[in-house]
Amino acid sequence: MVSNELVDVTIARIPHRRPVLAGRDQPVGELVDRLAASKRGSVIVIDDDGRVLGMFTERDVKHRLDFRDESWREVLVGDVMTVDATAIHESATFADALALMRDRRRRHLPIVGANGRVDGVLSIRDLLRFVVRHYPDHFLNLPPGPKHETSSRWGG
Amino acid sequence: MARLQRTISEFIGERTAPIVEPTAPIAECVEQMKASGHSCVLVVEGGALVGIFTGRDFVNRVLAERRSVHETSVGEVMTGEPEQFAPSDCISYAINRMAVRGFRNLPIVEDGRVITALSVHDVIAHLSSVFAEIAELEADASEESMEEWFDTGGGG
Go through the domains of chain B in sequence order and give each one's CATH number: 8-154 (3.10.580.10)
**Chain A: residue whose CA lies nearest to B112:** A147
Where are the extended beta strands (E) located within A27-139? 42-46, 52-57, 88-89, 108-112, 118-123
Put simply, the answer to whether B135 touches A2 (Cβ < 8 Å) is yes
Predicted local confidence at residue B61, as pLDDT: 97
Predicted local confidence at residue B144, as pLDDT: 62
- Report whether pLDDT(A150) > 60: no
- Report whether pLDDT(A152) > 90: no
Predicted local confidence at residue B136, as pLDDT: 74
Percent of chain B with pLDDT over 70: 86
Percent of chain B with pLDDT over 90: 63
Name which of B1, B13, B12, B3 is nearest B86 in CA terms.
B12
- Report whether pLDDT(B149) > 80: no
Q: Is the ipTM of this complex over 0.95?
A: no
The domains located in chain A, with CATH, are 11-139 (3.10.580.10)
The whole-angstrom distance between A6's CA and the closest CA on chain B is 9
The whole-angstrom distance between B5's CA and the closest CA on chain A is 10
**Chain A: residue whose CA lies nearest to B129:** A2
Which of A91-100, B1-10, B12-21 is predicted with the least confidence, judged by mean pLDDT?
B1-10
- Report whether pLDDT(B125) > 90: no
Which residue from A3, A62, A144 is facing B93, i.e. has the nearest CB?
A144
Q: How far apart are CA A3 and CA A8, in angstroms?
A: 8
Q: How many contacts, defined by CB atoms under 8 Å, are there between A and B?
A: 123
